[in-house]
Amino acid sequence: MPTTPCFHVDAFTSKPFRGNPAAVCLLAAAKPARWMQAVAAEMNLSETAFVSPMARGFRLRWFTPQVEVDLCGHATLATAHVLWSEGLAARDHVLVFTTRSGVLTAAQRSDRIELDFPARPAVRCKVPAGLSKALGVTPVFVARNQDDLLVELASERQVRSLQPNLTALVKLPVRGVIVTARSSGKFDFVSRFFAPAVGVPEDPVTGSAHCGLAPFWAERLGRTTLRGFQASARGGIVEVELRGERVLLRGTAVTVVRGELLA
């Protein structure tokens, strides 16, 4: 019976059981979306990545337990980590991924993996009806990009202590809600990310959210290279660098489980 190599990787961390867990499935050839969605539901992690070889680079797709998504940072980081750590690509080789968000790359930068992603700047918008009540706090600033709401709060303490009404957040017409504030500690900013509409109540560390956070905080802080901390229970560090219409995301990853899919 043919099997599919599968890995459980914690991304944006160097320590097991921290950061954001992703499953990475190595496919010999493309599989039907229905099968991939069923596997993602079985894995029941915020994202499962499916990577298959192409003539140039790899095709990469990402699924939550409920839907396929257009962009995922931590599962891309996890995929690059697996390809290098399992000897499937040379460490000095830049990985090229064809995705629903165009061509993305991953490269080794000293002890970090660097992802080249599209910037997703958020534009100021009216506060959606029910948002303040759902969050339990009044936003300082609200903006929106093609995927998410970006909500600035008054303090890091508010971000860390937030306990939103997830049932109410589902009703908002967005993929998810990014909450953020300037850090009072060693980071430039902190954030959290809630996406119950796509089956992810709170994502531990969200690379795609930082594609919006990078231009937001670069403008406010006057610097293009920043360090963010996603203040979920697991927590994780994302280094970002804004380069025009692109964002470089840097982080580390660690494999926790190595196995095979039998189905």
Model confidence pLDDT, tens digit, residues 243-252: 999 999 999 9
- Give the per-residue pLDDT at 2: 81
Instruction: Identify whether residues 111 and 137 lie together within a single domain.
Output: no
Length of the chain: 263
pLDDT digits (tens, 9 = 90+) for 107-158: 999 899 999 999 999 999 999 999 999 999 999 999 999 999 999 999 999 9
Res. 254: pLDDT tops 80: yes
Pairwise CA distance, residues 196 & 202, whole Å: 7
Catalytic status, residue 47: yes
CATH number of residue 211's parent domain: 3.10.310.10
User: What is the predicted pLDDT for the residue at 75?
Assistant: 98
Do 60 and 104 lie in one domain? The reply is: yes
**Do 131 and 45 share a domain, yes or no?**
no
Residue in the structure block whose two tokens are 């990853």: 253
Q: Quote the pLDDT of residue 64.
A: 96
- 156 and 110 inside one domain: no
Residues 159 and 104 in one domain: no
Q: Which of 99, 189, 178, 105 is nearest to 145 (CA)?
A: 178
> Catalytic one among 47, 114, 156, 202?
47
Q: Measuring CA to CA, which residue among 195, 168, 167 is closest to residue 179? A: 195
CA separation for the pair 79, 161 (Å, rounded): 32
Per residue in 178-235, pLDDT (tens digit) is 999 999 999 999 999 999 999 999 999 999 999 999 999 999 999 999 999 999 999 9
Q: Answer whether 89's CB lies under 8 Å from 113's CB.
A: no
Residues 138 and 214 in one domain: yes
Per residue in 66-97, pLDDT tens? 999 999 999 999 999 999 999 999 999 999 99
Q: Are residues 35 and 75 in the same domain?
A: yes
Mean confidence (pLDDT) of the chain: 97
What is the span of the domain harbouring residue 43? 4-118+250-261
| Total domains present in the chain | 2
Does pLDDT of 6 surpass 80? yes
Statement to judge: residues 168 and 218 lie in one domain: yes
* Residue 187 sits in the same domain as residue 202: yes
Does 1 score more than 90 pLDDT?
Answer: no
Kind of pairing between the strands at 141-144 and 176-182: unpaired
Same domain, 77 and 136: no
